[in-house]
C-alpha cells in the first residue's frame, strides 16, 4: 500500500517501512522546518516512520519517504512502570 491509497482511518494505523540503511540516513535529519525524522522499531523489529513524517516531508533530499511501502503499525508493548518498594 502507498501513501495516496490510505483512507482517513488508515492514516492513524499505518506507518512507513524502512530498511536499516534508510533508517540510518534519516536519523537526525529534518523533514520540515523544526521537525526531525524519528525512526522507531515496531513489535517485529521493523524500522518505521509515521505517516505524518512522510506526508509533511519537504526536505528535497528525503522526498523518497513519500514512496515507502506502508504496513499496519504494531507497537512494542510498554514496559510496566516501576513498582516502589516500601521499606
Residue 86 maps to a domain: no
Average pLDDT for 20-31:
98
Q: Which of the two residues, 8 and 83, has the higher pLDDT score?
A: 8
User: Is the pTM here over 0.85, yes or no?
Assistant: yes
Number of compact structural domains in the chain: 1
Between 21-25, 47-51, 70-74, 75-79, the lowest mean confidence (pLDDT) is in 75-79
pLDDT band at residue 86 under the 50/70/90 scheme: low
Domain around 54: 3-72
Residue 79 maps to a domain: no
Query: CA 13 to CA 70: how far, in whole Å?
Result: 10
- List phi, psi (to 5°) of 66: -65, -15
Amino acid at each position: 500500500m502507498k501513501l495516496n491509497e490510505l483512507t482517513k482511518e488508515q492514516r492513524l494505523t499505518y506507518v512507513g517501512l524502512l530498511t536499516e540503511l534508510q533508517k540510518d540516513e534519516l536519523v537526525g535529519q529534518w523533514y520540515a522546518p523544526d521537525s526531525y525524522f524519528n525512526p522507531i522499531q515496531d513489535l517485529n523489529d521493523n524500522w518505521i516512520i509515521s505517516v505524518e513524517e512522510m506526508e509533511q516531508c519537504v526536505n528535497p533530499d528525503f522526498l523518497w519517504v513519500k514512496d515507502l511501502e506502508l504496513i499496519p503499525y504494531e507497537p512494542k508493548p510498554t514496559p510496566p512502570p516501576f513498582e516502589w518498594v516500601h521499606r
